[in-house]
Amino acid sequence: MIRIPVAAGTFYPSRPESLRNLILQCFQHPLGPGKVPEFHSPSRGKLFGLIVPHAGYIYSGPIAAHSYFLLGENGFRWTLLLGPNHTGLGKDFSLMSSGSWRTPFGEMKIEEEKGSLLKGIPSIEEDSLAHMREHSLEVQLPFLQYIYPEATMVPLSISSPYLEEIKKVGKEIGELFRDDREMVIIASTDLSHYHHHSLAVKLDNMALEAIINFDSDLLWERVHNVPISMCGYAPVIALLEACKSASVKECKLLKYATSGETGGDFSQVVGYAALAFFKS
């Protein structure tokens, strides 16, 4: 099965050369890392997970570039992509374990052997429907292909409304891949949505505090009770639990900004953050 892109031409350019130029601009942007990574293979093995935003590249691309700069410098062979489900279609834990996803740069293959392992986790189900019109993972692929054209991945959409189920799946993911030095887990999320910049920063700092302290329960509580309109809290919680079960204890905030800083409108912004999780 080949998944056809739905965000090309809107979230990012549909023409390969325009896409390549925009990704380069994201790396070199004043809010980006300032340079393009030097890819290392095989992996240096210290990077276990990343958090990246998933808005249009002109808004969140420079922030996402911080995570991808680090990924290139660390090296990897394949990624486990964890994303939210904006469409409401499909299962609570929707996996595609075979086939490929097409982008303007070509097809990225799914790492079938690793997908088969993930199907062994009871809550995870094979389901392509959740992925067909979902942008949160698709927009990561061109960055991955830019820094390593031979990269492969496994996409998992998470929309379960149950905290303990998300934590359990995350724990099992961590146990499954704790010794895989060729893999990095990438959780896709934007932070607060459509507040004034000053309020967005305040809310986002509350979410980031919970993430940096690996506190899934606090993140869940703040998202639901403050509330904080963070769309990808479920994949982030799964990543946090995977980190804990793999004895990953270091988290670093690489960059935070809002769409006001990249787009110029501070009246109604979306928050973006890039974070990294390291093995000892």
- The answer to whether residues 185 and 49 touch, using CB atoms and an 8 Å cutoff, is yes
Q: What is the mean pLDDT of residues 87-100?
A: 97
- Which of 196, 183, 201, 197 lies closest to 273 in space, CA to CA? 201
Using alpha carbons, list the distances in angstroms from residue 209 to 155, 171, 186, 212. 27, 21, 19, 5
- pLDDT tens track for 121-143: 999 999 999 999 999 999 999 99
Q: What is the mean pLDDT of residues 91-117?
A: 98
Q: How many C-beta atoms lie closer than 10 Å to residue 51's C-beta?
A: 29
Sheet architecture: strand order including 106-109 = 2-3, 100-103, 106-109
Write down the pLDDT at residue 44: 72
Q: What is the mean pLDDT of residues 213-223?
A: 98
Write down the pLDDT at residue 144: 98
Instruction: Give the model's confidence band at 40: pLDDT under 50 very low, under 70 low, under 90 confident, else very high.
Output: confident
- The answer to whether residues 279 and 45 touch, using CB atoms and an 8 Å cutoff, is yes
E strand intervals along 143-264 = 152-158, 183-188, 193-195, 250-258
- pLDDT tens track for 236-263: 999 999 999 999 999 999 999 999 999 9
Write down the pLDDT at residue 43: 74
User: How confident is the prediction for the chain on average, in pLDDT?
Assistant: 97
Q: How many domains does the chain have?
A: 1
CATH code of the domain containing 42: 3.40.830.10
Domain assignment of residue 228, given as a range? 2-278
Global pTM value: 0.97
How far apart CA 233 and CA 217 sit, in angstroms, is 11
pLDDT exceeds 80 at position 194: yes
More confident residue, 43 or 35: 35
pLDDT exceeds 80 at position 104: yes
pLDDT exceeds 80 at position 82: yes
Residue 280, classified by CB atoms within 10 Å of its CB into exposed (0-12), middle (13-18) or buried (19+), is exposed
